[in-house]
Chains A and B, each alone.
Chain A
Amino acid sequence: MIATLVGAICLLTTPAFGATDERSEVLSISPPRLISAVDAGTEYRTTVIFRNLTDETFTAYFDARDLVPAEDGVGFATLANGRTVAGWARLPFRSQLVRPDQRLELPIRIRIPADTPPGSHALGIVASRVIAEPGSNTDGEARVTVSASVVSQLVLTVSGGARYDVAVGKLRAPRLVWPGDDVRFRATVHNRGNVLARITQARVGVGAFTGQAERQLQIQDVDVLPAGKRRLETRWQERPLLGWFRPSVFLNVDGKQVRKEYPTVYVLPPWWLMALIAAALLLPVWGRVRRQRRFRRAVEEHADPSDPSDPDQS
């Protein structure tokens, strides 16, 4: 009886099949990044998943492109016409009609040439859709045609002669911190080696002058391609009210520790603490002056008028 009742309630509260609410017009590709070790002269196989999460059937276009470090240091960039590493990849098809909610598997075959130098080589599998079709507008109009793409990144590290070389530069932090300032620690990591630098831990430690207390400020984990750079930035939250500090950036790059120090940072106190400091300095002084006055007055009141040696009486 109870089971029937629960079943009826479930039936009533479950939306009917196909009665969807708002749908997102989303393209999805998986995995975002795949890192794998390979040997030159072999073939590497993997599968990329493309999903049509829109409510339309459309033609999806697939392509392979070279991946390079982004010029502005914020990750990877796909070269529109880069076909060096991308030329190793064989896609099963270049275009495919995909239905709503369809999950399309793309088996990718990548033949690594025998003369490939050791180190990391990257390519992107790009899935595209034309958002605004030009259509048959022959009425003299112009149109901006937009193509939207999602990229699955493949980083292949060819074995033999891996060279790890990471340098940290452009350390920037404010020297003086005023109350309410948005304080950020910045650093740039340069990958001068020939393999992908995986920064698994990146943090800024804010050492107190006592040398014992360190506040860890987390920076996101990042990957840097060979010859690439990466800007790191973190905000100093929950900072102390006052003091001076020697922040350091700590990086764990492929198991190796890298540390670099920022110049000393001085944190200035807020107004109420400034007022408190002023009060702390002035009140004892004022109290002492007051006591001295009172003492002098007491001396004067107790002075003997018949004493000739008293200079006040002369």
Chain B
Amino acid sequence: MHTISSTPRPQRTPWHYAQWIPLVVVLALAMGSPLGLFSSLAGAASDSGSVQINGDVDKDVQLDGSACNAADLTLPSLTAGDPMVPTPSDCAITYSTNNSTAGASLTVQEDPAGGAGDAMKCIAGGCAGDSLTDYAGADYTVQTGSNFGAALTSVSGAAAALWSLSPQTYAVAGGISACTTAGTTAAGTCSFRFAASADPIADQPGAYQALVQFTAQAI
């Protein structure tokens, strides 16, 4: 019969206690993490902190079209029946509001008086921090009745910015694309590129234009 009563109890080494440290840490995290005690360890960005500003500031909606000018929008001569010809450069619109609502939106509408044609298309569109899904696409494909297109009209036909008051020939509301700013006081910028083609039957030689309207408003 063995007796081990004479066997000395192993001495507690620092290692003996150190091996329990991970368990203690994990238990502490498990208990504290759901309470948010260790959230800073997760490395998430914090948006805390505020600045209080006192003063009178007019609440308004703003639109800056300085990066969209005639040179960006003039098309070269169109040959009837040829593929779509793009405008030389992007047209960029910046918009914002300092209202206390969620921000601002920019909608893009084609001319409702332009008829059901799609001779002009938006072929590229993008917004910083947002996305545009409602344009024809870079393949320049003319899709009859698709969104975000417009017919070319004679220059003499649309001299004013006011849109026609006559009943629209197709649903403009379905042809709206929108970008939104991230929030109050943040400015959004959207860039667009257009292209056009001439129909050999419908379009007679001459000067034409297609009207596109950008509208900025509070969300």
Contacts and interface: CB of A to CB of B under 8 A. Distances in A.
A244 to B, nearest CB: 8
Q: What are the 5 tightest A-B residue pairs by CB atom distance, in nearest-first order?
A: A25-B66, A75-B219, A243-B34, A151-B217, A208-B34
Contact of B59 (A31, A133, A150, A213): A31
14 contacts: A31-B60, A32-B61, A61-B162, A74-B180, A80-B112, A83-B165, A138-B207, A149-B213, A152-B61, A238-B40, A240-B35, A240-B38, A245-B34, A279-B22
Given A238-B42, A280-B22, A284-B20, A147 B60 contact: no
Interface in B190-205: 194, 196, 198, 205
Interface of B: 1-2, 4, 6-7, 10, 16, 19-20, 22-23, 25-27, 29-30, 33-36, 38-42, 44-47, 58-66, 68-70, 72-78, 87, 91, 93, 97, 99-105, 107, 109, 112, 120, 152, 155, 158-168, 172-174, 176, 178, 180, 183-184, 194, 196, 198, 205-219
B56 to A, nearest CB: 12
Contacts of A241: 29, 33, 38-39, 41-42
A143 B208 contact: yes
A279 B22 CA distance: 6
Nearest to A291: B10
Contacts of A242: 29-30, 33-34
A32 B98 CA distance: 9
A49 interface: yes
B178 A128 contact: no
B209 to A, nearest CB: 5
Interface in A265-300: 269-270, 273, 276-277, 279-281, 283-284, 286-287, 291, 294-295, 298-299
B106 to A, nearest CB: 10
Nearest to B218: A32
Contacts of B215: 78, 126, 149-151
A283 B78 CA distance: 78
A75 B101 CA distance: 10
B23 A280 contact: yes
A288 B42 CA distance: 33
Nearest to A302: B7
Contact of B196 (A124, A144, A287): A144
A142 B76 CA distance: 7
**Interface size class of chain A, counting residues whose CB lies under 8 Å from the partner chain:** 35 or more
B16 A287 contact: yes
A153 B218 contact: yes
B212 A72 contact: no
Contact of B1 (A78, A139, A239, A309): A309
Contacts of A269: 29
Contacts of B198: 142
Interface stretch (A10-18, A164-172, A220-228): A220-228
A143 B70 contact: yes
Contacts of A309: 1
B168 A80 contact: yes
Contacts of B62: 26-28, 53, 150
A131 interface: yes
B63 A140 contact: no
A178 to B, nearest CB: 12
B42 A240 contact: yes
Given A32-B61, A81-B163, A142-B207, 20 more contacts: A24-B64, A30-B60, A32-B60, A32-B217, A74-B105, A78-B215, A95-B162, A132-B69, A137-B207, A140-B205, A143-B74, A144-B212, A150-B215, A151-B217, A151-B218, A221-B100, A240-B35, A241-B42, A273-B26, A295-B10
A74 B219 contact: yes
A26 B162 CA distance: 19
A277 B102 CA distance: 42
B127 to A, nearest CB: 12
